[in-house]
């Protein structure tokens, strides 16, 4: 069981589905959820007494600091502010919003409404914020929804599906899953990411970005020891992929991996990816 998620992560995800934007297959801009004025109305209708950072559309369109905020930023800032001052009200706002039917959401949003999967993810994130554990498989699905890399999603799902039918391919996909998770994070953070970097190098560069606050000096030492162990595990996964992976030549006395070995490598890789995805997204 991983620690409770922070409400800032919940707010960030909600902002992306209730006030975000993106592109479709034709590279055309698409928009989700509320318009600017609707964002303000949503919060004011919920609690008109609360002093939101953005309580009028004028504050949103002409901020005092002169830095124009996107719809997503305004939604996130207001929701985080509500949680900061009164966590119970923050929870109540989230529950009220996701309890609405599709018809109700259509009536209060200008753009594309959140999908059923989006709402389910918010419910799970909210429950986890409140302290309810999330089983590994649901945690994996939640993480894959939050990370915007179709390639990582494809590798992870394929690796799990290949464990029984093609253990060698499952092992190869596990390594690729680790590599691409690290590369995705490094790229998002604007860190140099050379094609020649091997798996241990990618791990070390990503590890440097971690911001872990231990409870004590002893806790810090334990965290360092744990992360060193992760580095050893990642190096071993890379070596096992070289031995068993489908893309490498085999010696005459080669013995293929069994399902149990493939399952260990896939699940170990998956848990490592989960740790980093849950930390950064």
pLDDT at 113: 93
Q: How far apart are CA 17 and CA 117, in angstroms?
A: 11
The pLDDT assigned to 267 comes to 84
Q: Which two tokens stand for residue 128?
A: 């986890």
Question: According to the model, what pLDDT value does residue 161 have?
Answer: 85
| pLDDT over threshold 90, residue 229 | no
Taking residues 175-179, report their average pLDDT.
88
* DSSP bridge pairs for 30: 22
Please enumerate in sequence order all residues whose Cβ is within 8 A of that of 52, keeping only pairs 6 or more positions apart, or say none.
Answer: 43, 44, 78, 81, 82
Predicted pLDDT of residue 177: 86
How confident is the model over 114-164, as pLDDT tens digits? 999 899 999 988 988 887 655 555 656 666 665 655 666 777 778 888 888
| pLDDT for 147 | 61
In this predicted model, which residue has the larger pLDDT, 211 or 45? Answer: 45
Check if CATH label 1.20.120 holds for domain 150-280: yes
pLDDT of residue 214: 54
pLDDT at 1: 38
pLDDT, residue 149, reads: 58
Average pLDDT over residues 239-247: 79
User: Which pLDDT band, with edges at 50, 70 and 90, does 2 fall under?
Assistant: very low
* Residue 248 CB partners (closer than 8 Å, separation 6+): 241, 242
Q: Is the pLDDT of residue 190 over 90?
A: no
Average pLDDT, the chain: 82
pLDDT in tens, 33-62: 999 999 999 999 999 888 898 888 888 777
Determine contact, residues 184/147, Cβ cutoff 8 Å: yes
Where is average pLDDT lowest: 57-71, 163-177, 195-209?
57-71
pLDDT class of 31 with cuts at 50, 70, 90? very high
- Could you give the 3-state DSSP secondary structure of residue 272? helix
Q: Which tokens is 219 given?
A: 């806790």
The structure's pTM equals 0.50
Domain ranges of the chain: 7-134, 150-280
Which one is predicted more confidently, 156 or 263?
Answer: 263
3-class SS of residue 175: helix
Helices (H), 24-100: 36-46, 57-61, 71-85, 87-98
DSSP 128-153: HHTT----HHHHHHHHHHHS--HHHH
């Amino acid at each position: 069981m991983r620690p409770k998620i922070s409400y800032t992560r919940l707010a960030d995800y909600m902002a992306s589905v209730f006030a975000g934007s993106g592109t479709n297959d034709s590279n055309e801009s698409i928009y989700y959820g509320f318009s600017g004025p609707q964002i303000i109305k949503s919060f004011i209708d919920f609690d008109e007494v609360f002093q939101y950072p953005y309580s009028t559309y004028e504050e949103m369109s002409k901020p005092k600091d002169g830095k124009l905020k996107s719809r997503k930023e305004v939604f996130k800032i207001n929701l985080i502010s509500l949680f900061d001052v009164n966590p119970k009200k923050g929870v109540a706002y989230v529950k009220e919003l996701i309890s609405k039917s599709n018809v109700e959401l259509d009536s209060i949003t200008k753009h594309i409404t959140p999908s059923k999967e989006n709402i389910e993810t918010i419910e799970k994130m909210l429950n986890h914020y409140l302290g309810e554990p999330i089983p590994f498989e649901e945690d994996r699905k939640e993480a894959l929804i939050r990370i915007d890399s179709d390639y990582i999603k494809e590798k992870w799902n394929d690796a799990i599906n290949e464990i029984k039918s093609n253990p060698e391919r499952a092992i190869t996909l596990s390594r690729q899953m680790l590599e691409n998770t690290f590369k995705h994070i490094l790229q998002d953070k604007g860190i140099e990411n050379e094609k020649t970097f091997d798996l241990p190098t990618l791990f070390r560069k990503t590890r440097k970005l971690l911001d872990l606050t231990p409870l004590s000096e002893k806790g810090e030492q334990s965290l360092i020891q744990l992360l060193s162990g992760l580095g050893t595990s990642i190096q071993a996964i890379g070596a096992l992929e070289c031995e068993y992976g489908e893309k490498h030549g085999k010696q005459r006395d080669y013995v293929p991996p069994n399902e149990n070995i493939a399952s260990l490598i896939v699940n170990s890789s998956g848990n490592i990816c989960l740790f980093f995805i849950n930390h950064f997204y």
